[in-house]
Copies of this chain bind each other. A is one copy, B any other.
Amino acid sequence: MARFKEIASHIRHLIEQGDYPENSPLPRQADLAKTYQTSRMTIQKALELLRYEGLITSRQGSGSVVRQDARNLAKVDGRIDEYNGLTANNRGIAEVSSKILHFDVRFPTNEEQANLQISDYQPVYDIARLRFVDHEPHVLEYTIMPIHVIPNLKEETLQQSIYDYIENSLQLTIGVATRRIRADKPSATDQAELNCTAADPILEIEQVVYLDDGVPFEFSRSRNRYDNGDILVVNMNRTRKTLD
């Protein structure tokens, strides 16, 4: 792992432990550089990661401070890693299972080709799953993946976690994601599978996920029950995507 990521992980851990308490300043960048036997640029890249995660804020001339709810955020991130991802629900570790609604291989549509940066003759998996958390239906996931990037996918894998398979069996590293988020009315399928009524909103997330090296491997749309602790924490640098 890159040095700056290791350092970020270590500092994240210290924040989670309370060694760097909330609302108190981090050591100076120069001191951190000495501590970790590295240059200040590397420390800055580590702190930049933590800023993107919302754990700290930095002010020129003043210093870096651990944010108010940083400890919880760090813990949630930790929990997420443990069971391969669940949005923050403050309920500890939960059991995740899947019902496979659809599993097929076919050629990609134009939209899929564009988003996955593949050509029309490179086949993709077409997957639909209903995901359960503690045996309660949580989210409907429609996933498209290029088979040459994620080979040998089987039904057993879909029952568990695809990301586990990618990171552990294929030894690939997940990178960034681009997402579109919107609210929607529930479709007939949503209501039937997610066990909700026409009055229950759906939170839809469409995303393209990349590997660490920039190769897109997933184009998916997930439809979440609105009341499922399906809260997303995001963090971006260009604001002004909303009014004002």
Q: How large is the interface on A (under 10, 10 to 19, 20 to 34, 35 or more residues)?
A: 35 or more
Chain B residues positioned under 8 Å from A183 (CB to CB):
183-184, 201-203, 224, 226, 230
Contact B231 A180 (CB under 8 A): yes
Contact A69 B241 (CB under 8 A): no
Check A152 for interface membership: any CB of B closer than 8 A: no
A161 vs chain B, min Cβ distance (A): 5
Contact B200 A185 (CB under 8 A): yes
Check A236 for interface membership: any CB of B closer than 8 A: yes
Give A31 to B154 CA distance when docked, in angstroms. 44
Check A193 for interface membership: any CB of B closer than 8 A: no
Contact B198 A199 (CB under 8 A): yes
Chain B residues positioned under 8 Å from A61 (CB to CB):
213
CB within 8 A of A57: which of B54, B174, B210?
B210
User: Contacts A87-B242, A163-B240, A214-B58 hold; do A176 and B51 have CB atoms under 8 A apart?
Assistant: yes
Contact B244 A176 (CB under 8 A): no
Per the 8 Å Cβ criterion, residues 160-213 of A in contact with B are 161-163, 174-185, 198-203, 205, 207, 209-210, 213
Contact A179 B235 (CB under 8 A): yes
Chain B residues positioned under 8 Å from A179 (CB to CB):
232-236
Give A65 to B117 CA distance when docked, in angstroms. 10
Check A93 for interface membership: any CB of B closer than 8 A: no
| Given A84-B243, A232-B241, 15 new contacts (CB under 8 A) | A52-B237, A59-B215, A80-B241, A84-B244, A96-B243, A163-B240, A176-B239, A181-B181, A182-B203, A183-B183, A183-B224, A183-B226, A184-B201, A201-B201, A201-B226
What is A's interface to B at a CB cutoff of 8 Å? 23, 41, 49, 51-54, 57-62, 65, 68-69, 77, 80-81, 84-87, 96, 114-115, 117, 131, 133, 138-139, 141, 161-163, 174-185, 198-203, 205, 207, 209-210, 213-216, 222, 224, 226, 230-244
